Amino acid sequence: MGTAYDAGVNFFDNAEVYAGGESERIMGAALKALKWRRDSYLVSSKVFWGGEKPTQKGLSRKHVFDACHAALARLNVDYLDLYFCHRPDPETPVEETVRAMDDLVRQGKVLYWGTSEWSAKQIAEACEIADRRNLAFPTMEQPQYNLYERHKVEVEFAPLYEKPGLGTTIWSPLASGLLTGKYENGIPDGSRLSLKGYEWLRARLETEEGRKRLDQSVRFARLAREHDFKASQLAIAWCLKNPRVSTVILGASRLEQLKENLGALDAYRRLDAELVRRVEEIFAK
């Protein structure tokens, strides 16, 4: 986190469901040890999966409040900069969730609230309720976005960018590692596809569509090398080039991996129209 912060990263994303809250506890301990000024960084949490009991999940008023207070305690902060509804909740009226988020904003416990993996229609409904009731609007969405997954960010959400002014904190810019170039010669030991619990992802790549994606990833990695980039750097830079992307969320398990991904900033500056065209050729549908 210190290396990321020193490189200019100021947004740290989290959620109650990550390692059952342990991720937030670890991040909170790091924030306490690093002693950064609170006005120099942003931290988020997401609410939906807090436990197995009926009152520990979903987007009911009770769970939204309980999860917020639990996240504040784990993260060692007085307020959350961003608070996301991690998934839509068909069992809770949208107005109940919007009102709960508005109350947290008014109480100063949350600065901005938003959604993750909601549809444009669901976000528009929340915005309509907020407008009609004079409540705080959802201002950001956290969708998956990469060279394979583009429709939501580029097409479905298009009407929401101007009004109400939706921002996006996109996740999986490397498509679960597929855009890192590590699978050029099969599945290496220690990669995500080799891990227990990811058999479903490995099986997906054994389909016709999966094999096509693997071929595209190999060609993409070769193109990146032509320009002295790592494939991961070019993939992240491509996401950054989209003006509708507010920020790209990186996940790193090693310091070297983080430093490599931060090299995407140089790739971003060098990503010209011709290189974008060649990338688009590889992933054309």
Is 83 among the catalytic positions? no
* Rounded Cα–Cα distance for residues 246 and 18 (Å): 23
CA distance 14 to 75: 9
Residue 275, helix vs strand vs coil: helix
DSSP code per residue over 165-215: --EEEEB-TTTTTGGGTTTTTS--TTSGGGSTT-HHHHHHTTSHHHHHHHH
Interior/surface letters 43-58, b for 16+ CB within 10 angstroms, e for the rest? bbbbbbbbbeeeeebb
The partner residues of 205 in beta bridges, in order of sequence, read: none
Distance CA 166, CA 89 (A): 20
Secondary structure letter of residue 144 according to DSSP: B
At 56, give phi and psi (nearest 5°): -105, 10
Q: 90 — phi, psi (to 5°)?
A: -70, -15
* Tokens standing for residue 147: 């060279």
Is 79 buried (19+), middle (13-18) or exposed (0-12) by CB count in 10 A?
Answer: middle
The CB density around residue 161, as the number of other CB atoms within 10 Å, is 14
Residue type, 69: H
Of the candidates 5, 18, 79, 148, the residue annotated as catalytic is: 18
Return the active site residues: 18
